[in-house]
A and B are shown apart, each in its own frame.
Chain A
Amino acid sequence: MTRLGILIDLKRCIGCDACTMACKQERGTPTSVMLSRVFSREFGKFPNTKKFFLPILCNQCEEPPCMSACPSHAIAKRKDGIVVVIEDKCCGAQACVSACPYGAIFYSDGGKPSKYSDAPTELERYHRYEVNGMMKLPSAMKCDLCSARIDKGMEPACVVTCPTGCRIFGDLDNPSSKPNLYLHARIPQETPFPLRPDASTKPNVFYLL
């Protein structure tokens, strides 16, 4: 079985948002829809303060709660494990948005291309009418690991662009895939962990501290 997923090494991540921007580019999402994001949070009191960065994206769950919540069966799981939205079927109930424990699903009607103006630039027109047009907004939107790129043999945009190389993409079931080789070679050895194991979603995005 193929089980595509991403391993994120938080020790590498510098919270720079190159992934967030690469995703904006690749998917041309409307304003305030960020299918890939990085949260940062401070802990402690000065001068003993720590700051952490946490990249968040769709976890491509084995048991996706969004899929079971959708009343119109508009969310499906591909054979390679990627969870996708079938925009045609999206009825706008937005049950998926509230079902996702990771806040990784957005609902958008496309909105204005940007907050400044009604006159879209050529790029915004492309995103609106070509990319999002194909997605037939309004619809639910989520990260699909750049399935269009994967189908062309490329890696997801966020993975390719990451300056620190903190995102490692591949088939988690394949012992010689990039994530498994990375885990094997990493010093110190750590056990990857998923987010919200309590949600019983069996995610395919794992993190290393």
Chain B
Amino acid sequence: MCRMCLHGCGILVHVVNGVAVKIDPDPDNVDNLGALCPRGNAALTKHYDRNRILKPLLRMNSEKHWDADPKWKEIPMEQALAIVAERLRAIYRKDPRSLLCSFGDFQRYWTLAWPAGAFGAPNYYSTLGSTCGGGYHPVNGAVHGAFAAIPDYNYCNYLLQLGSGDGFEGHLHLSGTARRVADARMRGMRLVVVEPRLGTAAAKADEWLPIRIGTDCAFVMSLMNVMVNELGHFDAEYLKKNTNAPYLVGPNGYFVTGGNGKAQVWDPIAKSPRAYDYPELSDLSLTGDHEVSGVKSRPAFEIFKENLRVYTPERMSEVTTISAETIRRIAKELVEAAEIGKTIELDGQVYPFRPVAIQWYRGAQPDSHSFMENFAYKMINMLLGNIDMPGGHLGVPLGWSPIDWDGDCSLNKIEAGENGIMKPWLGELQFPIPYKRLSETAQLNDRIRLGSEPGELSPEVVLQHDRFGRAKPEALFAFSSNPLMNMPRSAESLKALQTMDLIATIDTRVAGETTVFSDVLFPDRTFLESWSLYTCEAPFVTGHTLRQPVVKPPTETLDGTDIITELSERIGILDKWNDSLNEFLGLWKNQKCLLEKDKKYSSEEIIRRFAAAFYGESRNIEWFKKNGTSMRLKTPRELYFPYRGLRLPFYMDFVKKAGEDARTNAESGTCCLQPWEQGDYQPLPEFKISNIEVNDLQEYDLTARTTFGTYFKDLQDSSWVVEVAGNKPELSSVWINAETASKRGIKTGDRIRISSKYDSVEGIAWLTEGLHPEAVMISLAGRPRFKGKHESTSTTSISELLAPEMRAASGNYETSLRVKVEAIR
């Protein structure tokens, strides 16, 4: 299994005399469809890496700053384990919460259970979550019972991509998705790409609409306004039957309930309120003002419809720089492409056929109003009646094996909630989080009622721990994670790390910013030397792919899972660790697979038990060793319309409730460093200007975002990526619109300085006609800043330019930022 991103495509590794010399895609894996992306093709350079750690390293220089030589000393594994276990044991006995953890190995995701589950340290010193899907995952959880979402490339005829890169540069399972999108385009799927930059998706699109950074939500709200209030064309039947859009909402913003406690709808024939499940309901009103037992109420849809009126195409064209005429045309094209009313029969079952989808991901994520954006984009799909319908917008579950998940966890998690509405899994992440007056965690996630854990808050909490009534955090334990890279304002983050008595990391190489500051560095085994049985957000398929050792590991290395097991034994928490694994991997499903309390299990044995617990004896580990993968295409019944009569939340009353709880608690306690914007806890979406730093617009006159093309930071120092991406200015430089650059006297190849009000970084300019004139795009691939053994590599990074200014609804902080750009002479 490949591990050049979090997903895990099937691969075949050709080994000659003990050396892995070639990776080909597994032709039989229906996940990646016998394809492999450039990252996967460069993977060998990460295994055979000059910065690979072959033995545990002990830092002999206690001074920690960028220019300090760590003075590494190689030590035996036993000594490394003893040093770290002794410190951790002391912390564990005193107060486990004073250990900060930064665990980020998705392909060995069971290790994520260690910090809170085994050690009792629920801290999260990383922005892995908040730069990822703080707004995205909760909305997918609420609407699909899933984690991610993807257009149904099997049938989709019209795809509007909002900066997602899906099937072109990133997002879910690039290799397989690229094949599926290419096939869909070949059969005539129209592709419209809304993105500030002429990236790969825009290059291949039938139409590219360059938009002002941070205004996609305004564009979509305007599309919905045209559909609802101008054209009156949307899937009203779908909304009536399959969502809570007709539920009556009272003046307090909550559903009006009848005498039986059930949410009410309006029956336009009987001109009377009815319980939502009234059996003889011939029709339901989506609009109008209705009185229920003296309470004035309106269907949720009516409120939504009225809210939309401010988003006129004329006004929104000023916000987005996309013309009103184009907004009206796209709205019309979308509803026409939806073929509302049409059905399709698949495997003997008739489904609504909705071959249109709006897709997004990256563009809406590290935004302060991420939740609002994700909500709006989900809503426009709902208006087209395409949620989990053939041709439409499909939920993609994470597919891990959560504690309480029965059956196939690659299927949408559908359970009944209140009032006939599907239970909102606001995440498979974390919801609801009980409020505590004194926050238990360094990231204060009990203040962020939905979304991801806002690790960007951790450095300030560490530095001002007294204010939070917390003991001083004493150590950081990082596993396959680089918080110093992913935190905003890395100077603050570094300052927080400098207060730690111990920094221990598990990694395969000394190349990340955080590993450079470690006191003890454990040498992990690579994806060609270790075990996993894994799936992650795999669209259209269900199953697992095996990672197994194909080359001999260096003798002094240890699989990260085994390092954690060894430490657990020495700390005295082996029983808790085994319990965590039993729960997290669902080993309880088969009594024979349960790990006993005080016994040590190798990573191979854990995987063996996981396979047996999940698949029974039919597909045990031996079967996987032979076949590599159990991936199979989902059947239509598994893929489409899985709600079993439950309605989807069009109106998210539970989000409003979570916000009110959070506000009440915030007012009553000293819970935050800065007063957070709480306005995003809304039951319906709205466009809010997320720009970011609106002060000093004259001085900071451009907006910067990052783009990593097809490559991640992790691959930046791969010699092949440097060679291939380094030759391509779009992958290795800072994009500036040609005219914008000329006005500043900047030419392609010039060294430039990009400054926000916090700091400045340098980069190399690439002038392009393929970028919005107000945008600056900073590519994260190629071009190492440093080189050589035990040194960090990096391109122009914007972390320095960012502030952890976030909105409490999603935990996301803002990564679009106002900047000025000048040539360095």
Contacts and interface: CB of A to CB of B under 8 A. Distances in A.
Interface of A: 9, 11-12, 14-18, 20-22, 24-26, 28, 31-32, 34, 40, 42, 44-47, 49-53, 113-117, 119, 121-124, 126-127, 130, 157, 160-166, 186-187
A20 B24 contact: no
A20 B724 contact: yes
A40 B199 CA distance: 11
Contacts of B181: 164
Interface string B39-56: 011101101111000000
A49 B769 contact: yes
B269 interface: no
Interface string B110-124: 000000000000000
Contact of A42 (B200, B728, B770): B770
A12 B185 CA distance: 8
Nearest to B41: A21
Given A51-B203, A51-B770, A117-B50, A16 B37 contact: yes
Contacts of A123: 19-21, 44-45, 47-48
A113 B45 CA distance: 12
Interface string B784-799: 0001110000000000
A122 B203 CA distance: 39
A126 B16 contact: yes
Contact of A119 (B16, B50, B769): B50
A166 B168 CA distance: 13
Nearest to B36: A161
Contacts of A116: 50, 719, 787-788
B719 A31 contact: yes
Contacts of B175: 18, 163
Q: Interface size class for chain B?
A: 35 or more
Contact of A46 (B36, B174, B730, B771): B771
A121 B38 contact: no
Give the interface SS of chain B, mostly helix, strand, loop or mixed: mixed
8 contacts: A14-B168, A14-B204, A18-B36, A21-B41, A46-B772, A50-B203, A114-B719, A161-B35
Closest 3 CB pairs of A and B: A21-B41, A163-B178, A164-B182
Contacts of B768: 42, 49
A164 B178 contact: yes
Given A121-B49, A160-B34, A161-B41, A51 B174 contact: no
A126 B44 CA distance: 12
Interface of B: 16, 19-25, 27, 34-38, 40-42, 44-45, 47-50, 167-169, 174-176, 178-179, 181-183, 185-188, 198, 200, 202-204, 208, 210, 710, 719-720, 722-725, 728, 730, 737-739, 768-773, 787-789
B188 to A, nearest CB: 8
A17 B44 CA distance: 16
A126 B25 CA distance: 21
A21 B722 CA distance: 11
Given A17-B710, A53-B203, A117-B50, A34 B178 contact: no
B719 A163 contact: no
A186 B178 CA distance: 18
A24 B722 CA distance: 12
Nearest to B168: A14
Contacts of A14: 167-168, 178, 182, 200, 203-204
B769 A44 contact: yes
B702 to A, nearest CB: 15
Contacts of B769: 42, 44-46, 49
A187 B179 CA distance: 17
A50 B24 CA distance: 32
A46 B210 contact: yes
B202 A51 contact: yes
Contacts of A166: 182
Contacts of A44: 769
Nearest to B52: A121
B203 A161 contact: no
Contacts of B167: 14
Contacts of B200: 14-16
A15 B769 CA distance: 18
